[in-house]
Amino acid sequence: MKRIVCLISGRGSNLAAILRTAESERWATEIPAAVVAVISNRADAAGLAVAAAHGVPAAVLEHQSFASREQFDARLAEAIEAHRADLVVLAGFMRVLGGAFVNRFCGRLVNVHPSLLPAFPGLATHRRALAAGVRVHGATVHFVSGDVDGGAIIAQAALGVLPEDNEETLAARVLQREHVLLPRCVRWLCEGRVALQNGRVVTRDLAADHLALLG
């Protein structure tokens, strides 16, 4: 059984997408894999209720309760290791993790970002995409590295920017793509079809799946 720990900070829509996909595709019997824990850095995160609704144990580690980023990262790492995680998924986790943490989970730590990296790393991606006048936007799932949103890319989902798009409508459409892209990448990782080797993504038997995500 591949054991997945999801980290969240807010509404948990990507967490919900992973859990729905796991249930509908019967990951426990087909891969097998399961989300064994959810950890939030905010006690008011709506995603905690998502975890509870799916019967997944959840915990809160508020970063404000720690004197330093390093202390928070160390306690978070301990909590993850307690669940014997094979994969750690940042599913809307709004904290930058330090180098020691990233190195500890190298190759099993992934993030979803709302842009077609390397374009628009960081925050306010949709506003910046509209201001830049891009015609194609989307989402990226990548391994986490020491550079913010700079890790090796696993897969991307693209969409056209509409003339009538504003920041809110574009964000909503990109989020729909995230809800397909992230669970699919998590499944690939659990199946061993994607891995990180020497800083590069290596894959097997993914051509058709990748093309489907770009439609």
Catalytic residue list: 113
Cβ count near 60 (within 10 Å)? 14
Residue whose entry in the numeric block shows the structure tokens 């992230």: 182
Tell me the two tokens of residue 47: 């995603």
Most distant CA pair in the chain: distance in Å? 49
User: Computed from CA positions of residues 90, 95, 96, 101, in that sequence, does the dihedral angle turn out positive or negative?
Assistant: negative
Residues 70 and 40: beta-carbon distance below 8 Å? no
Helix, strand, coil percentages (3-state) for the chain, rounded to 5, are 40, 25, 35
Question: Which residue, among 143, 144, 175, has the nearest Cα to 159 in the 3D structure?
Answer: 175
What kind and span of H or E run contains 89?
A: strand 87-90
**CA 123 to CA 126: how far, in whole Å?**
9
**CA 172 to CA 102: how far, in whole Å?**
29
